[in-house]
Structure 1
Amino acid sequence: MRVVAIFTDTPEMLEHRKQHGQAHFDFLRANQSEILVGGGLRDEDGGAYVGGLWVMEVESLARAKAIIEQDPYYVPELRSFELKVWGKAFDEDVII
C-alpha cells in the first residue's frame, strides 16, 4: 500500500535536525525500499523547515508508523505526523 506521511515540526525541532541530520539521512538510505521519496517542508523558499513529507510503500499503516518511530528525527515532543493512504493518478513511473 502506498502511504503519505506528513510531518509537522515544532520550532525546537530545528536544533534537533542540526544534531541528528546525518543519522536521519543514513536511516532514509537504509529504508529506501519502503521510503520512496522524502524531504523537508518550508513555508517559503529558503525559510526554516516546518515539517516533512514521505511517500512510502509499506504492507500496512502499522508498518509505516513503526518505520517513522525508528527515525532519529522522530521525537514526539518535537514532531507529529499523520498518515494517509495515497492513490497515484497515473500508472506510469515518475521520477522526480
Structure 2
Amino acid sequence: MRFVAIFEDTPEMAEIRQQFRLQHLAYLREYASELVIGGGLRDEPGGPYLGALWVLEVESRARALEVIEADPYYQALARPYRLYSWGKAIPENQVLL
C-alpha cells in the first residue's frame, strides 16, 4: 500500500533539524525499502524548511504510522503531519528521480 505523509514544521523544528539531522538521515537509509522517497518542503529553493513530504510503500496504515513516529525528528518533537492513502493515476508510467 502506498501512503503520502505531509509534515508541517513548527518554529522549534529548525533546531531539531540541526540537532538530529545525522540520526534522521541514518533512519531514512535504514528504512529505504519502505520510505520510497522523502524530502524537505520550502517555498523557494534554498529558503527555510516549511515541512516535509514522504512517500511510503508499506503493508498497512498502521505500519506507515510506526515508520513515521519512530523517526528521530518525530521522536524529538511530535510535529504535526497528515497521512493519506495514495494511488498512482497511470500505474504503468515509470518514474525516475
Query: How far off its partner does 1:92 sit?
Result: 2.6
CA distance in 2, matches of 1:94, 1:47: 26
**Structure 1 unaligned spans of 5+:** none
Runs of 4+ in structure 1 over 2 Å off: none
Aligned match of 1:15: 15
For residues 46-69 of structure 1, what are the alpha-carbon distances to aligned partners after superposition, in whole Å with 9 as ceiling and x for unaligned?
111110000000111111011111
CA distance in 2, matches of 1:35, 1:58: 8
Q: Please report the TM-score for the alignment, with normalisation by the length of structure 1.
A: 0.93
Q: For structure 2, which runs of at least 5 residues remain unmatched after alignment? A: none
Residue aligning to 2:57: 57
Write the distance in 2 (CA, Å) between the matches of 1:61 and 1:82.
12
Structure 1 residue aligned with 2:48: 48
Deviations 1:10-56 (CA, angstroms, capped at 9, x unpaired): 02100100010010000000001100000000122211111000000
Residues 11 and 50 in structure 1, CA contact (< 8 A), matched pair in contact too: no
CA distance in 2, matches of 1:43, 1:12: 18
Question: What TM-score does the superposition give when structure 2 sets the normalisation length?
Answer: 0.92
Question: Aligned-residue CA RMSD in angstroms?
Answer: 0.9
